[in-house]
Structures are given as structure tokens and as C-alpha cells.
Structure 1
Amino acid sequence: MVTATATDKNQLITDKLITLIEKGVKPWSKPWYASPFQNCITNHIYRGINPILCQIDLVINNWEYPFFLTFQQAKELNWLIKKGSKATWIKWGGTYAKEVEDPETKETKKEYKNSFRWFSVFNIACVDDSKSVHKITEYLKPLTGVKPNNFNPILQVDNFINTLEIKTVFGGPVACYIPFSDTIKLPNRSDFISTEGFYSTYLHEIVHSTGHHSRCARPLNNKKGSSDYAFEELIADLGSAFLCNHFAINYSLESHASYLDSWLSVLRSDKTAFLKAAQKANQAFNYLIGDTVVDEQ
């Protein structure tokens, strides 16, 4: 396993994002593959932010399959990594609880902290199997065309939404979350071009609602056009992508030019902004789904 500091990987990922967004491409809003992003040797399915980190490189390099492996795994199969191939950096880690004493009340309480490290993987397109008796096609056959979940994602999402105590008003041309009344406004379902568009938009607004002071408590009354406003939109877009991936929905929000321009400003001014937003989005996901994301190779 190859590890690296968080700082240089933040810059690497941010540079890639800026390149894609300047072209009008939001890599996290591309349709999720019929096969999930995963390690092609262990079949471990990547979670949290890792599918998006893989997707960024998939879009940049025009790779066909969302399957990866470590350098050591390739070596054990006598596979070679093609000259000039670039590693994809993903994160291993999660949330752990630590008991601390409140200095005022002297009561013991749990404090939750995040811990992670970076490690490198290579896409299957970077592998040369010509000198091995083990062929890549042997590993691709059971993976291609496999659905990440064997359930009706629409029914699953409906059931999920129905468990949330968030008021939704349907009708009109606007999709938004109103913090002071804790209300989501959406056009009627029949007004959406696609089923996926309806659910991805709904989930986007649901992630905004997690910023309410009674939930994850994020600043929501940001001036439109400000960097704080763009940062919250980035959180909601990533959080919606996490939820769409979880429910096996093709994520299809439009790449609004105003969002892209404002995100570029945020990313250029702070190379850690993307991963900070992803952490906030992951907190929203965990709040809604009730599942701490832990990933590994």
C-alpha cells in the first residue's frame, strides 16, 4: 500500500476537478455505473467519497470499467502496470468515538473524530496481463453488468423519504429548501423530465435540510453568489450523489453554469474545499442513513 500526505492529494484532486469543471463537467453527477466502483480482485465495493474520486479519474482518462486494484495485487498475479499510468488516490478511514470529560459538568461524553489515510489503486485499464497466465477477462466477466442492488430503487427511496420528518410542498417552478420554516419546495413529480431527475433533485434538497440547527447545524442563510453559498451547494450536490449511489439512482442534476463558476472560485481559493465539502456531505448522509462510512481496499 502506498500512502501520502493529505495536503498534496487535496491539491491533486482539486486540480483535476478544476480541469473538468472548466469543461462544464461535474464528475460526481455522471450516471453511476451498472457495476459499482470496486476492487476487481477482492470485489470490495468502494463507499463514501471513493466512488467519486474514482469517477474523476475515469472521466479524465476515458476508462471503460470502474474496477481497480492495488500495485501489490497486480504483482501477485504477474500483471504489469503500464508505463506512464497514474495511480488513483482513495481514502481509507472512518469515524471513531472517544470518551472525554466535560470540563464544566465533569460528565463523561462521547466525542466523534474522523481518521483516514490515503492509498493508491490502479484502474484495470492500466494493467498489462500479457506475461501472466491470469487474464483480466477472467476477473471482468463476473463484474460487468452486475447491478449494485437487487431492489426497486424508486420504492426504496419513497420509503426512505416517508420516514423523514421534513415538510414538502409540491407545485410551482422552484426546487429549494427554506430553513426558517424547515420546508422543501418542489415542482410536481409530473413536471420532471425523468424519474431520476425528480429523485436526485429531491435528495439534493433533503441534504440541504440536514443543515438545519436541529440536525447537522450548518450555516444556511448564506448570501446567494457568495463562497459560503457555493460551498453549501457543493455539500448538497455531493450529498445527493452519495444518496443516489446508495439507492442505485442515475444522478442527473443539470450542470448550472452559475454553480460551476462559483465552485471554481471556491476550489481555487481553498485546495481543501472539495474534501471539506465531501466530509460535510458524508455527515449529512450518515445522519439520514444512519450508517458510518468506512472504506478499505
Structure 2
Amino acid sequence: MATTQKLDPATEITNEIIALLERGTMPWRQPWKIAGGGVPLRHNGERYQGINAFLLGLRATMMGYSSPYWMTFNQARELDACVRRGERSSIVVYYGSAKKRGAETSDGDGGDEGKEGGGSYRFLKSYRVFHVSQIDGLDASYHPEPEGDPSDGPQPIPEAQAFFDAIDADVVIGGDRACYIPSLDRIHMPPMARFESASSYYSTLFHELGHWTKTEDRLDRSFGVSSFGNEAYSKEELCVEISAVVGGQRLGFAPNHIENHAAYVGSWLKVLKSDSRFLFTAAAHAQRIVDFLVAASETGTKAKEAIHEAA
């Protein structure tokens, strides 16, 4: 009797990313803007986070989807809509936890890889969703129109500019190099005029701020001694690159920091092939980066408002 091998969501997803990277490209690049700011949404408007935001954003980029909404087959039926025959679903994952005796369980969006409490264990489950473009009979509200064009030129995007201006990081504008210098705790950025678009500028700045979060007094993230191209370097780069994708979704600019460079693609392939779950770990770190920078921006905004009111 033939047996069916049990699905391993982590391996399936990682293999899909590996296959795309082996083409020599980074498939999460997109020149257009998704409605709703680009953050993938559940049918009820709740945001996806972590690995799910990355994966569904990737699929939306590949397929040219403009709506942010996704839902399961049954959720579509509950809305008196129907998934078209032959449409391919997309995988979504979540981590659950259970007491070792199985008395209680909890679950959450795939952003807590590696966490485990005393007396409990973690498990990974998956389910399938469809984009609203694959579904007939949905209300027009599931197909909002994108606002504006993120690639008109190097003109500031007011909301994004305000977000970055409020973060209390040492950012020096000038020169022709984008980098974070740990010894100085300083970011160097070329002026926006040197970029093809404002999106390219903000995506690059978010990437460098991602590195800025790794210090002990911020997110305390380290993968060992880092040098260009080694495993520690590649892991850190993958984390901050995913954070730029998820951050771009959140703020409404297309993620396009790193060009399709063989050195990056090759190093990431090596990491993913050696550890099928590191993509999940990287996405969890990326979500923490996004959350940290969002909180830092909100704190800075409130501080500036307080100073303005006092004046």
C-alpha cells in the first residue's frame, strides 16, 4: 500500500524560495504599489505578519496582484463567493504551543520561531489561502484601487519621510555609499537624488536601520563573527532584507534595496539549503525589526509633538 509523506511546511516553503533564488533573482521586487499600503490582509482586514507577510507579499509580486486581501476556501464560501476551478492556493503557517500533556494550546502568526516555554512544546502547522483575484463573487471592497505611483521619481513620500525622521538614529546624508558602521553606531546614506526613486531610497534606509537594530541595547541580534559572504553575514543580510520587504509593505513603498546580485543570491542559497527553517527564523527577526522601528518612530513623533506643544 502506498503511503503519503507528511507535509513539512518549512521545507516546502524554503524549497520554493530556493527554486526562485536559483533563477538568479530576488523575486520579491516589484515596481508597482499594492492597495492598502502593501501589507497582506486576512479577509477581515487583520494584518499578516512575519513569514506570512513575506510569503504572501512574494506571491502577490510574482502574480501581479494589486489587492492586499487573502482568504481560505471556506471563508470565501461564507461570503457567498467561490474560488475559481484550477486556481493554485498559497501556503500560510502558524506556530502553536501546547502543554506536554496536551491540556491547553495557543497559536500565532509565524513570527516566533525558536521560542518555547517551560513544560510546553512548539509545533508548526499550515493551511491554504487564495488571493481575492482568484475568487468570484466578492464585494468590491476586496478590490481597492492602489493610491498613487511609488516610482514617479526621487521625490519624498511624506508619510515615509515622517516615519524615518522620527527615529532617533544617527543618519549622515552624503557621499555614494549606503552602510551602517557599528563602531560609530552611524548610518551613511547617499542623497535621495542619487536614487532612481523615493522607494529605492526608503527601502535602502530601512535596510540599514535594520542593521542598526542589532546592537545589544536594541534587539541584541548576532549570528557570530561576521565578514563579507560568510554564514553570519548572510544570515544578518537575509534578516534585514526581509525586514525591508515587510517594512515597505507597512509604509507603502516597494522593496528594492539590493540588486539581483549573484553574491547575495549564492550566499542566501547556501544558508537556506543547510537549514530549511532559517527562513522562518529570519522572518521572525525581520518582524521584530519592523516592530522595533515602528515603535521607535512613534516614540520620536510623540517626543517632537510634546516639544512643539511646550514651545
Which category describes the TM-score, using the shorter chain as reference length? Answer: 0.7 to 0.9
Amino acid at match of 1:287: F
CA distance 1:161–1:65, change in 2 (3 Å): closer
Deviation at 1:183, TM superposition (A): 0.9
Aligned residues: 261
Report what 1:268 is aligned to: 273
Does residue 175 of the first structure (1) align with residue 178 of the second (2)?
A: yes
Question: Does the 8 Å CA contact 2:50/2:286 hold for their aligned counterparts?
Answer: no
Deviation at 1:47, TM superposition (A): 3.8
Report what 2:305 is aligned to: none
For the residues of structure 2 that align with 1:28 and 1:244, how far apart are their CA atoms? 11
Deviation at 1:59, TM superposition (A): 4.8
Does residue 243 of the first structure (1) align with residue 244 of the second (2)?
A: no
Give CA-to-partner distance per residue, 1:148-191, whole Å, 9 cap, x none: 9xxx9823333332333321222222111111111111122222
For the residues of structure 2 that align with 1:142 and 1:126, how far apart are their CA atoms? 12
Identity over aligned residues, as a percent?
A: 28
Deviation at 1:60, TM superposition (A): 5.2
Question: Does the 8 Å CA contact 1:153/1:249 hold for their aligned counterparts?
Answer: no
Does residue 120 of the first structure (1) align with residue 128 of the second (2)?
A: yes
Deviation at 1:202, TM superposition (A): 0.8
CA distance 1:44–1:281, change in 2 (3 Å): closer
Match of 2:192 among 181, 189, 192: 189
Judge which range, 65-74 or 269-278, deviates more: 65-74
Match of 1:255 among 248, 252, 260: 260
Report what 2:14 is aligned to: 14
> Mapping of 1:45-64 within 5 angstroms?
45-59=47-61
Report what 2:238 is aligned to: 234
SS at match of 2:218: coil
Give CA-to-partner distance per residue, 1:25-44, whole Å, 9 cap, x none: 323333541344334x5344
For the residues of structure 1 that align with 2:10 and 2:199, how far apart are their CA atoms? 31
Kindly report the root-mean-square deviation, in angstroms, between the aligned alpha carbons of the 2 structures: 3.4
SS at match of 1:250: coil
Q: TM-score if structure 1 supplies the norm length?
A: 0.74
Amino acid at match of 2:231: S
Report what 1:109 is aligned to: none
Amino acid at match of 2:260: S
Question: Does the 8 Å CA contact 1:20/1:60 hold for their aligned counterparts?
Answer: no
Amino acid at match of 1:121: V
Question: Does the 8 Å CA contact 2:176/2:189 hold for their aligned counterparts?
Answer: yes
For the residues of structure 2 that align with 1:156 and 1:66, how far apart are their CA atoms? 19
For the residues of structure 2 that align with 1:116 and 1:219, how far apart are their CA atoms? 24
For the residues of structure 1 that align with 2:270 and 2:146, how far apart are their CA atoms? 38
Does residue 223 of the first structure (1) align with residue 249 of the second (2)?
A: no
Match of 1:213 among 212, 216, 233: 216
SS at match of 2:273: helix
Q: TM-score if structure 2 supplies the norm length?
A: 0.71
Deviation at 1:196, TM superposition (A): 1.3
Question: Does the 8 Å CA contact 1:211/1:217 hold for their aligned counterparts?
Answer: yes
For the residues of structure 1 that align with 2:170 and 2:181, how far apart are their CA atoms? 10
Question: Does the 8 Å CA contact 1:236/1:281 hold for their aligned counterparts?
Answer: yes
SS at match of 1:29: coil
CA distance 1:114–1:250, change in 2 (3 Å): farther
